[in-house]
Amino acid sequence: MAEKKAQKEEEEKAKEKRKEERIQKRKHRDEQKQRKKAELDAKRRKKADERHRKREMRERLLQTLEDSDGGSEDEIQVSVNNCYQCEKPYTSDFIECSNCSRRFHITCISDDYMGNVDGLEFECKFC
């Protein structure tokens, strides 16, 4: 009788241990799901912010073109001492578009838009 009681207690302990392991696994899976969801949400927000920023830049460019009374690109209002991308002032580390005379920090321009850097020929993404 004592053996049956001891065996039953061992079975109960094993059962309780398996239950705890299942709970831990479930908790771990839920944490992973939440982490992945947060990462995905952050990526989506970043893409949405980038689209919004591009849309604003496009609208600003169109407004600038409309304000220039439909003239040539030389008439586009260009801020003299500010980067056209980030609108912060620059000193000497800038590059000027060979088509529209917009100036950018070299660090603000991605490699996608860079032309012949050695010859300082550069065409901005708006041209």
Q: Do residues 126 and 84 share a domain? A: yes
The residue segments making up the domain with residue 125 are: 72-127
Residue for token digits 């001492």? 81
Backbone angles phi, psi at 87, to 5 degrees: 60, 20
Tokens of 66: 């409309």
Of residues 97, 69, 67, the one with CA closest to residue 83: 97
Number of domains the chain contains: 2
Mean pLDDT across 43-61: 90
DSSP states along 44-84: HHHHHHHHHHHHHHHHHHHHHHHHTTT--GGGS---SSB-T
Q: Do residues 88 and 36 share a domain? A: no
**67, 95, 118 - which closes a domain:** 67
Q: Do residues 92 and 53 share a domain? A: no
More confident site: 121 or 47: 47
pTM of the shown model = 0.39
What pLDDT shows up at residue 74? Answer: 47
pLDDT bin (cut points 50, 70, 90) of residue 71 is very low
